Chain A
Amino acid sequence: MNAVTLPLPAANRASGESLWRKAARKFGRDRLGMLALGIVLAYFIVALGAWLGWWAGGWADLTGTKWEPVSSGHWFGTNIIGQDIFDRAIFSTATAFEVGLSVALAATLIGTVVGAYAGFFVGSWSDEFLLWCMGVLDAIPFYLFVAAVAYALTDNPWAMQVAMIATFWVGTARLIRGEVIKLRGMEYVEAAHSIGVPELAIIFRHIVPNTGHIVLVQASITFVSAIKAEVILSFLGLGIKDGMSWGLMIDESTKEVLAGFYNNFLAASLLMFGLVMAFNAVADALQDALDPRKVG
């Protein structure tokens, strides 16, 4: 039951404001969310710079001696063979974004398409088949799967990303499928059907855009999962092969830590924590902004 609004001195909101514009407005007022977004953008610029070669290019160079402490020449000190930790950490930011963005985009795209198709044709053979695929992928232990894909692709540097994409799309697919099942009963779908709009067009031009809020949040969750998974996979030797990543730095640091040298570990962990935490905060703020029930 809605109550009647008394005329307010502030600008009148037209009732036709779209979900997105309203969400953007709400997000803009969320100070924590905006701060987090700023942090993510800062990281992105750092990554972009490293990727373009503007800085941290010398991450593999032996510029110092073993285990130097923090100094003005080496902001985080050096690792066991004398490479500058700070440079390595910065370069790893680029790797993180590479991995995170590629996996998030691909997995979310695949998940959305598959989920929407399965949801629209719920109960049909294609739906059952796709559900079976999702079940199978869920049942295979993640690390085994990555290892298997690494084998199958014979040490292709993209093996890890492929394996991640192949597992992460399932979560998004299930959510989109559930939402599409709900939405397909809506009247605008019936209306479109009755005027002869082809089914694929109904799915992808009418229904899927209404799942945008789920897609966006899922993409950010996948981004974070990919970065976190990379750390563990690189530690297990199944991750990044050439280049540098936070996972590889932590892998290096496992021996160093037992000898009492923590710089490598701390540099990679703190940097990663910063990005992931900020990204999670952005995803939360996004979810709040898109939730029609939450008051700003």
Chain B
Amino acid sequence: MTGDSSRPVLKVRDLTVEFVTEDGVVRAVDSVSFDVQPNETLGLVGESGCGKTVTGLAMLRLIPMPPGRIASGSIELDGRDLVPLPNRDLEDLRGRELSMIFQEPMTALNPVFTIGNQMTDVLCRHRDLTRRQARPVAAELLAKVGIPEPANRLDDYPHQLSGGMRQRVMIAMALSCNPKLLIADEPTTALDVTTQAQVLAQFRTLQAEFRMAVILVTHDLGVVAETCSGPSSCTAAALSSRGRPQTCSAARGIPTPRASWPRFPGCAVTGYPSCR
């Protein structure tokens, strides 16, 4: 099933990200292009070290900029190129139009502030709410991600929650301002298998409810299969170990790297322009 409009939410063209190290300039992402349609999931897969996390971070310009830099390319969110955007404008977009959740829920949350505090920070930043108004909204969001007794949890600190709950809190925060696009960087890698399944299931429901596009960065094909086995369409973009898009078999538009990739049921696998 394709998205409701033909214009992609995100259009990435020839993105190249480099890092200056003492051994020279290293290219982590090399001329990558892909589109993400509204309401769709794009799985960004590849082996460890292929540059998929850096690609995800580059969308929000979260790469540490002294050693790193976006050498070339464009990232268009709803037609607007993010690469030349000044920081202040980017700060307005982050969390509101584009959100990201990270791999390590343990360290991704600030240990010395309560969950409620951190969530209301985001809510007050992007939605016109006072702290007091934001609290019930935060509680509601926690309920939506499946956290029991959400109102009480608001006063808890991150270390008082389990890994799965922390990740759900992160998801709640990411969804709180109704972003158009969510980037999920290995969201379940740090969780045990049972929690993984639960969180992913929640994820799928939420995506449908909030009608967002999602970029799912992962090295775990099982996760891709899980997320893509549903009504939302899914594209797989594979990055080679050198951060380049994988060569595809032109005929069927399926990326065929060294090992052959399984077909994902329910996935409309589209070839994309830079597939050679």
Contact = CB atoms under 8 A, between A and B. Distances in A.
B51 interface: yes
A295 B67 contact: yes
Contact of B21 (A1, A10, A26, A295): A295
A38 interface: no
B31 interface: no
Contacts of A157: none
A7 B198 CA distance: 44
A5 B23 CA distance: 9
Nearest to A5: B26
Interface residues of A, number: 12
Given A1-B48, A295-B21, A295-B67, A6 B26 contact: yes
A3 B23 contact: no
Contacts of B49: 1-4
Given A1-B49, A4-B49, A13 B23 contact: yes
Nearest to A2: B49
A10 B53 CA distance: 28
Interface string A1-33: 111111010100100000000000010000000
B27 A6 contact: yes
The secondary-structure label for the interface of chain A is: loop
A296 interface: yes
B105 interface: no
A4 B26 contact: yes
B59 interface: no
Nearest to A9: B24
Nearest to B48: A1
A3 B20 contact: no
Nearest to A295: B22
Contacts of A295: 20-22, 67
A1 B54 contact: yes
Contacts of B22: 26, 295-296
A3 B54 contact: yes
Contacts of A3: 19, 26-28, 49, 51, 54, 243
What are the nearest 8 A-B pairs in CB distance? A3-B28, A296-B22, A8-B24, A3-B26, A295-B22, A4-B242, A5-B26, A1-B53
Interface of B: 19-24, 26-28, 48-49, 51, 53-54, 67, 241-243
13 contacts: A2-B49, A3-B26, A3-B27, A3-B54, A3-B243, A4-B49, A4-B241, A4-B242, A5-B24, A6-B26, A6-B27, A8-B24, A295-B21
